[in-house]
Each structure stands twice: as structure tokens, then as C-alpha cells.
Structure 1
Amino acid sequence: METGDVRKRLKLTVQDENTEEVVAGDKAVVVVEEEEEESEVTTMASEQMENDISNILEKINQFTQMVSELLESGKSFFKELSNEFEERVILVHKEQIDKWQEDIKELRMLDASNEDTNAVLYNAQNLFQNVQNETI
């Protein structure tokens, strides 16, 4: 029990006055040295822990920045791709409409030609009928 009392008194003395005192021989000095080492180790561990935490936070920031840039790049890429797709679909539509309009134009010309041919044939038929009727 005496050793515990010495440690308590020594801790109070060290904490209150921040000095090293030898209270009960060599044992008290060893306790003071152990407590200082523990404090230094805790401080060093805390500094190392803070450095590790800072490194992790920096990695988080870098990763977040990378993800943000990737999202912006992806949005830009898809917007360009969407615009290009739209332009190509419009071009295909225009080409198809032009083709069909050309087909309509050809059909109208063919129809007009057929109408002219039908008119000539009708006139020829009438002529033959008239000639046939006259010969009879």
C-alpha cells in the first residue's frame, strides 16, 4: 500500500507543480520516468494518429475531387454524345424524307407519262373504232 500512496503523491506533485521529486527512493523515480515515457508515447502516438487521420482525410478529399471530375467529364461526354446522336438521327430523317420526296416526284412523272400514254392509246382506239365503223 505504501507504493500506491507514493505513486499517488508523486502524481499529484508532478501534475500540480510539474517537477520531479523523489518521494520514496528509487521506486518513485522509476514511476516518474515511466509516466513521462507513457506521456511521450501517448503524445507521439497522438501525433502519429493525427498524421494518419490527416492522410486519410487528404485521400478522401482527393477521391472526392476525382469522382467529381469524373462525373463532370461523364456528363460532358454524354452531352456531346447525345448532341451527336441527335444530329445523326436528324440527318438520317432528312435523307429518308428527301428519298421519299424524290420517289413521289418520280411517281408523279410516271403517272403523268402514263396519263399521256393512256390518252394516246385512247385516241388510237377511237381512231381504230372509227375506221372499223366506216369500213363496215
Structure 2
Amino acid sequence: MENEEDEILRKRMKLGMEEKEQEVRDGTALEIVEKEETETNTLGSEEMELNIAHIVEKIEHFTQMVSELLESGKAMFKEMSNEFEERLIMIHKEQMEKWQEEIKELRMLDASNEEASATLHNARYLLQNPQIDS
């Protein structure tokens, strides 16, 4: 169980590091785009500037959409994880109750069998040793 938890923690840490690296790469890419925009501003026409601005707007919109999807995915997985955990605990509890009931029934059956055995033993003794009343 601890190994599984350690493995999950390692994976989460690895994902966190990858996300940080991606953010650095994204930041670098954004700086390059900004430098290109600055260079283009001095060299490009007004129509070209509008096209570039439109593309930058698409990039921002797409980035926002991906961010929202990631957040909703995380929330959904967390909710599913909680529901799974609750359901699994409930199944375990129900099974434990069933087995405890079986144990109780077996003990009652054993007690009944012991009582019947004792009665039969007494009857056998009485049949083997009849006393004659005179």
C-alpha cells in the first residue's frame, strides 16, 4: 500500500516538474513571439499586424481553453476518486456484515448441535443402563 502511495507521489512530482518545464518553455516561446512581433511591427504592414494579432488572440483563447479543460478534468477525477473510495468502503462494510452474520449463524448451529448431541448421549446412557424399579 505504501509502495503504491509512494509511486503515485513520485508520478505526481514528476508531472509537476514536467508542468514547470512546460511553463518555462511556454514562457520562452512567448518571448520569441513577442520579439518577432516587435521586429514585425517595424517591418510589417497594418494588414500583417492584424493577422498576427488574430493569431495571438487564437493562441490565448486556446491556452485558456486547455487550462479550463485541465482544471475540470482534475476536478472530475477527484470527484470520481472520492466516489470510488466511498463505494469500495461501503462494499467492504457490507461484506464484513454478511460474514459476521454467517459466523453468528454457525455458532448458533454449533450450539444447537452440541445440545442435541448431549441429549442423544443422555438417551444412549439411559438405554444402555436401564434401571429396574422394583
* 1:96 Cα deviation after fit: 0.8
The Cα offsets for residues 77-130 of structure 1, whole Å up to 9 and x where unpaired, read as 1111121111111111111111111110111111222xx35xx9xxxxxxxxxx
Tell me how far apart the structure 1 counterparts of residues 128 and 36 of structure 2 sit (CA, whole Å).
119
Letter in 2 for 1:43: E
Q: 1:64 maps to which residue?
A: 81
Letter in 2 for 1:90: R
Q: 2:15 maps to which residue?
A: none
Structure 1: 4+ residue segments shifted above 6 A: none
* 1:35 Cα deviation after fit: 1.2
Matched pairs, number:
100
RMSD over aligned CA atoms reads 2.5
Tell me how far apart the structure 2 counterparts of residues 48 and 37 of structure 1 sit (CA, whole Å).
16
Q: 1:52 aligns with which of 69, 75, 89?
A: 69
Determine whether 1:85 maps to 2:102. yes
Tell me how far apart the structure 1 counterparts of residues 92 and 37 of structure 2 sit (CA, whole Å).
63
Stretches of structure 2 lacking an aligned partner (at least 5 in a row): 1-34
Tell me how far apart the structure 1 counterparts of residues 69 and 37 of structure 2 sit (CA, whole Å).
31
Larger radius of gyration: 1
What TM-score results when the alignment is normalised by the length of structure 2? 0.65
* 1:65 Cα deviation after fit: 0.6
* 1:13 Cα deviation after fit: 4.7
Q: 1:11 maps to which residue?
A: 37
1:1-136 to 2 correspondence within 5 Å?
Answer: 11-13=37-39, 28-113=45-130, 116=131
Stretches of structure 1 lacking an aligned partner (at least 5 in a row): 1-8, 15-20, 121-136
SS at the partner of 2:86? helix
Tell me how far apart the structure 2 counterparts of residues 52 and 70 of structure 1 sit (CA, whole Å).
26
What TM-score results when the alignment is normalised by the length of structure 1? 0.64
Bigger RCO of structures 1 and 2 (CA < 8 A, at least 6 apart): 1
Identity of aligned residues (%): 6
C-alpha spacing 1:10/1:93, structure 2 compared with 1 (3 Å): closer
Letter in 1 for 2:110: H
